[in-house]
DNA sequence: ACGGCTAGAACT
DNA sequence: TAGTTCTAG
């Protein structure tokens, strides 16, 4: 039964691995003299000694905390070693930490599905590995048990801190008459201990881990014994653990939702939640969050480990606090250029190393306006299609900024005069790139199934500096004449072995709604690639004209209104679509196999009619391309032993990173079956290589959050300042 | 008008 | 989709 996942019984083995004060460790590896000393990583030395972003455990003993200033840290711990975070382009540069994180991920991904949860945390689904171990070399059969595993903390084992703790753990790990679930966890603990030793050996980094039946508990456990230790949560100790656990300790409940639970429902521990019915919690917090709360009170969390080794977005930002706020367009331009340079560089290496392309550029800013009582009005975020090339990103970001500034100024009904200081200041700027998709699209399993095996990638690979041909930017005013004609688009050229092969990367997100005219949007948000339908050869680095004219118009009136005080903030918890343990209904229609559908189906019926041919062409090109070395590895093994620079089966095997399945999701109405009507069991009939992908796609979706607004106490989530 | 920077997710 | 908001480390 490879497909049908047990959703009720939590027989899964999930681990959460957390690097110990990671930035400090990275610096200590660079400077081994610092090992063992109280150390902190600090950024921006200039003001009050800079602010701490990581603190070693030696320093924590002295009471040094993250969020202290360097000077404060010196006071409580005069011996503390403060290491500066690297600076590039006048801002903190976290690249060394990012690549350190990648080193770790590449090791941790060896034994099971791995999800990069942050720069220094991962989740692992070790269920299969644990089951295999239990079947082949169960702990009780081992002569010696890994010492690192014996040092595990096992919650609920009596005498955990006593003299015989180790003996107890050894017994627990290798007990042959234990609960099956515990045996699986024991195997998980052995595997994690092994992995942690490998991480230490290969990277010199220590980490802590939690091993449990689901993500929530694993995460909880990994923080319980640090540094360099691991904690197991046997099924039988879940109840006792949660009973007295302060509600705010739970992930997602550390903020306003947790506060609301405390002050509105009097819930102080997770156990206190048990007295509330699911309905009651739904009334208070909406269906999804209500159900989620009901479940976590019982230690239930069905969230899947996602199988994603790479980040889903990249960003670069900087704050300009108080007096350093930016007061001129020129200074904004300057900093935006720095941020965009960094972003562009990172996008380029993501493309080089992972063959991924980002599709959306977003600009965020913070601003104040003097003389206004509510002087911290929101500066609106703006986004647009992302064009590769540093200069284009800089241009586009600047245009987004200008568009945002117009809105922002509009709310004050005042005018900017040129670039002069006008009572406003920018206190924060950031640019980010998101909607990152694997490329080419033909490498996903479903498409492979239709197109046959991908050819191996060419061995020698050119530098990709010239892969992405700069598209000639059209001025926004020119763009209008192209409205609706965005069929083919971002023209990205990849070199083949001998000749260059052109690819049009499908970005359905932008192709979807043809009924909407471009005029509905701020033209400055439209990049040239939206309008192009031919290969652009030339770059003209600066927007010729147009940008000024287009920025002036059309920002809608509704933006001018100040947010009303009674606006509500609603909550929903993450990943409920995958995680609902209690489900209200299930359909058992759709008995016909979808296999026959696949067999007889022309792949082009995946697409919307208008685009079918063009995109199909791209997919064929992609599949036939000799330009992509990663295609074979992408398509093969379920587990990944390489660095995340290579695209991984996990990414393509699940839905999110895979452009093909993204297409399918978006185009699902072109299927002849409704998703809800497909009997999940028919997936078993599919070829194994595409089962997982289809399965992911068929998973139950979250219910629309129909909060009963009247009875909701969501108003307690109003921003504090508005209360 | 100070914690900075980055990332993920959900909702509308 | 674009934009906002929350959360976390």
Question: Residue A10: which pLDDT band, with cuts at 50, 70 and 90?
Answer: confident
Contacts of A279 (CB under 8 A, 6+ apart): A290
Tell whether the torsion through CA atoms of A414, A418, A424 and A426 is positive or negative.
Answer: positive
| Residue-range domains of chain A with CATH | 314-438+458-560 (3.30.1490.100)
CB count, 10 Å around CB of A176? 9
Protein-to-nucleotide distance from the CA of A703 to the C1' of B11, whole angstroms:
12
> What average pLDDT does this structure show over A194-205?
96
Q: Is A173 helix (H, G, I), strand (E, B) or coil?
A: helix
Q: For residue A417, give Cα distances in angstroms to A251, A420, A423.
A: 47, 6, 11
Protein-to-nucleotide distance from the CA of A131 to the C1' of B3, whole angstroms:
45
Q: Which nucleotide is nearest to A22 (CA to C1')?
A: C9
Q: Which nucleotide is nearest to A120 (CA to C1')?
A: C9
- DSSP of A71-136, one letter per residue? HHHHHH-TTPEEEEPPEETTEE--HHHHHHHHHHHHHHGGGSEEEEEETTEEEEE-HHHHHHHHHH
Q: What is the pLDDT of residues A601-629, one digit of tens each?
A: 333 333 333 333 232 223 323 322 322 22
Please give the Cα distance from A64 to A52 (Å, whole number): 9
Protein-to-nucleotide distance from the CA of A571 to the C1' of C6, whole angstroms:
8
Active-site pick, A121, A489, A692, A693: A121
Residue A12 has pLDDT above 60, yes or no: yes
pLDDT at A436 (0 to 100): 94
Q: What is the pLDDT of residues A107-129, one digit of tens each?
A: 999 999 999 999 999 999 999 99
Protein-to-nucleotide distance from the CA of A703 to the C1' of B8, whole angstroms:
20
Q: For residue A179, give Cα distances in angstroms to A152, A175, A182, A184, A451.
A: 18, 9, 5, 9, 46
Contacts of A446 (CB under 8 A, 6+ apart): A660, A661, A664, A690, A693, A694
Strand C: protein residues, Cβ closer than 7 A = A 118, 120-121, 223, 250-258, 360, 362, 378, 380-385, 508-510, 512-513, 521-522, 525, 563, 569, 571, 666, 717-719
> What average pLDDT does this structure show over A377-396?
92
Question: Residue A178: which pLDDT band, with cuts at 50, 70 and 90?
Answer: confident
| A121 in catalytic set | yes
Protein-to-nucleotide distance from the CA of A300 to the C1' of C9, whole angstroms:
24
Nucleotides of strand B lying closer than 7 angstroms to a protein CB:
1-12
Please answer whether residues A358 and A106 qualify as being in contact, where contact means their C-beta atoms are separated by less than 8 angstroms. Answer: no
> What average pLDDT does this structure show over A358-370?
90
pLDDT at A372 (0 to 100): 58
Protein-to-nucleotide distance from the CA of A572 to the C1' of B7, whole angstroms:
18
> What average pLDDT does this structure show over A540-564?
29
Protein-to-nucleotide distance from the CA of A161 to the C1' of C1, whole angstroms:
55
CB count, 10 Å around CB of A137? 12
Q: What is the pLDDT of residues A422-454, one digit of tens each?
A: 678 899 999 999 999 988 754 444 444 444 333
Residue A273 has pLDDT above 80, yes or no: yes
pLDDT at A160 (0 to 100): 57
Q: For residue A252, give Cα distances in angstroms to A273, A296, A447.
A: 15, 11, 37
Q: Which nucleotide is nearest to A516 (CA to C1')?
A: C1
Please give the Cα distance from A73 to A51 (Å, whole number): 9
Residue A470 has pLDDT above 60, yes or no: no
Q: What is the pLDDT of residues A571-599, one digit of tens each?
A: 334 433 333 333 332 222 222 222 332 33
pLDDT at A44 (0 to 100): 80
The residue that minimises its CA distance to C1' of C3 is A381
Q: Which nucleotide is nearest to A719 (CA to C1')?
A: C5
Q: Which nucleotide is nearest to A574 (CA to C1')?
A: B9
Q: What is the pLDDT of residues A527-538, one digit of tens each?
A: 333 333 222 222
Percent of chain A residues past pLDDT 70, beyond the cut: 56
The residue that minimises its CA distance to C1' of B3 is A67
The residue that minimises its CA distance to C1' of B2 is A321
Residue A50 has pLDDT above 90, yes or no: no
Q: Is A361 helix (H, G, I), strand (E, B) or coil?
A: strand
pLDDT at A146 (0 to 100): 96
The residue that minimises its CA distance to C1' of B10 is A572
Q: What is the pLDDT of residues A120-164, one digit of tens each?
A: 999 999 999 999 999 999 999 999 999 999 999 999 987 655 667
Q: Which nucleotide is nearest to A431 (CA to C1')?
A: B6
Residue A490 has pLDDT above 60, yes or no: no
Please give the Cα distance from A111 to A102 (Å, whole number): 16
Residue A650 has pLDDT above 90, yes or no: no
The residue that minimises its CA distance to C1' of B12 is A570
The residue that minimises its CA distance to C1' of C9 is A118
Question: Residue A521: which pLDDT band, with cuts at 50, 70 and 90?
Answer: very low
User: Mean pLDDT lowest for which of A67-76, A309-318, A410-419?
Assistant: A410-419
């Amino acid at each position: 039964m490879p497909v049908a996942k047990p959703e009720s019984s939590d027989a899964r083995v999930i681990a959460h691995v957390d690097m110990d004060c990671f930035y400090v460790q990275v610096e200590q590896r660079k400077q081994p003299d610092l090992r063992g000393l109280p150390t902190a990583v600090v950024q921006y030395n200039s003001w009050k000694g800079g602010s701490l972003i990581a603190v070693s455990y030696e320093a924590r003993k002295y009471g040094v905390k993250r969020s202290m200033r360097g000077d404060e840290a010196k006071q409580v711990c005069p011996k503390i070693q403060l290491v500066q975070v690297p600076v590039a382009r006048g801002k903190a540069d976290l690249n060394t930490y990012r690549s350190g994180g990648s080193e770790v991920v590449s090791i941790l991904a060896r034994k099971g599905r791995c999800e990069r949860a942050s720069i220094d945390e991962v989740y692992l689904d070790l269920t299969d590995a644990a089951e295999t171990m239990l079947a082949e070399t169960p702990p009780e059969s081992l002569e010696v048990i890994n010492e690192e595993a014996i040092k595990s903390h096992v919650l609920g084992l009596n005498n955990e801190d006593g003299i015989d703790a180790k003996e107890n753990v050894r017994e627990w790990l290798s007990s042959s008459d234990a609960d099956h679930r515990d045996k699986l966890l024991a195997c998980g603990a052995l595997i994690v201990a092994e992995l942690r030793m490998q991480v230490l050996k290969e990277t010199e980094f220590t980490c802590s881990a939690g091993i449990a039946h689901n993500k929530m508990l694993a995460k909880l456990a990994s923080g319980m014994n640090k540094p360099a230790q691991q904690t197991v949560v046997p099924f039988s100790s879940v109840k006792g653990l949660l009973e007295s656990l302060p509600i705010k300790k739970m992930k997602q409940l550390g903020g306003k939702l947790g506060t609301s639970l405390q002050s509105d429902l009097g819930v102080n521990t997770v156990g206190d939640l048990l007295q509330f019915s699911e309905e009651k919690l739904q009334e208070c917090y909406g269906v999804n969050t209500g159900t989620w709360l009901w479940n976590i009170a019982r230690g239930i969390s069905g969230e899947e480990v996602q199988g994603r080794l790479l980040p889903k977005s990249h960003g670069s930002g900087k704050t300009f606090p108080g007096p350093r706020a930016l007061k001129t367009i020129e200074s904004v331009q300057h900093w935006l250029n720095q941020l965009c340079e960094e972003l562009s560089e990172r996008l380029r290496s993501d493309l080089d190393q992972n063959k991924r392309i980002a599709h959306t550029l977003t600009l965020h800013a913070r601003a104040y306006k003097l003389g206004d009582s509510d002087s911290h009005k929101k500066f609106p975020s703006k986004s647009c299609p992302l064009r590769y090339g540093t200069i284009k990103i800089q241009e586009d970001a600047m245009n987004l900024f200008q568009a945002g500034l117009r809105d922002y100024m509009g709310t004050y009904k005042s005018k900017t005069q040129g670039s002069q200081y006008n009572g406003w200041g920018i206190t924060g700027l950031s640019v980010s790139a998101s909607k990152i998709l694997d490329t080419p699209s033909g490498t996903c399993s479903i498409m492979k199934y239709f197109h046959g095996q991908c050819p191996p990638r060419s061995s020698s690979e050119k530098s990709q500096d010239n892969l992405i041909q700069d598209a000639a930017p059209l001025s926004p005013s020119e763009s209008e004449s192209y409205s609706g004609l965005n069929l083919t688009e971002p023209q990205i050229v990849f070199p083949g072995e001998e000749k260059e092969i052109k690819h049009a990367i499908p970005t359905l997100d932008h192709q979807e709604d043809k009924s909407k005219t471009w005029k509905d949007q701020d033209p400055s948000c439209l990049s040239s690639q939206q309008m192009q339908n031919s290969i652009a050869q030339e770059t003209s680095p600066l927007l010729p004209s147009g940008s000024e004219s287009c920025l002036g118009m059309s920002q809608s009136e509704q933006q001018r209104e100040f947010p009303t005080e009674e606006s509500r903030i609603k909550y929903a918890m993450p990943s409920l679509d995958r995680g609902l343990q209690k489900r209200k209904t299930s359909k058992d229609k759709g008995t016909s196999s979808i296999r026959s559908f696949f067999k007889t189906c022309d792949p082009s019926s995946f697409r919307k009619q208008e685009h079918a041919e063009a995109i199909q062409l791209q997919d064929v090109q992609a599949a036939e391309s000799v330009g992509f070395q990663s295609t074979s590895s992408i398509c093969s093994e379920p587990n990944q032993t390489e660095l995340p620079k290579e695209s991984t089966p996990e990414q393509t095997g699940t839905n999110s990173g895979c452009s093909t399945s993204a297409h399918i999701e978006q185009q699902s109405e072109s299927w002849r079956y409704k998703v809800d009507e497909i009997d999940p069991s028919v997936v078993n009939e599919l070829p194994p290589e595409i089962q997982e992908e289809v399965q992911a796609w068929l998973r139950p979706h979250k219910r629309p959050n129909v909060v009963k607004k009247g009875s909701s106490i969501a108003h307690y989530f109003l921003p504090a300042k508005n209360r």
